[in-house]
Amino acid sequence: MPTIGWFEILLVVAVAIIVIGPKDFPFMLKKVGSWIGTTKRYISNIQSEVADLDISSNEIEKPVEEKKDNDKT
């Protein structure tokens, strides 16, 4: 998997400053940072919900397995 180095980041920033303009560049950085933060919170929320589902499904399976073990004896 290719990695992004400092030179590539510098190149993207330079092109962004040229295209967007130096006056609007800080505003765009703030906006992109906000989008990244929102996306991270959304993904974190989904991960916690999946973990909660996994925990609750394990709690449901335990009594069923215990009942199966009791029926065998």
15 belongs to a structural domain = yes
Q: Scan for tokens 């990695």, then name that residue.
A: 3
Q: Indicate yes or no: pTM above 0.85.
A: no
Q: Write the CB contacts of 17 (distance below 8 Å, at least 6 apart in sequence).
A: 25
2 belongs to a structural domain = no
pLDDT at 3: 85
Domain extent for 66 = 7-72
Q: Dump pLDDT digits (tens) for 2-34.
A: 788 999 989 999 999 999 999 999 999 999 999
Number of domains in the chain: 1
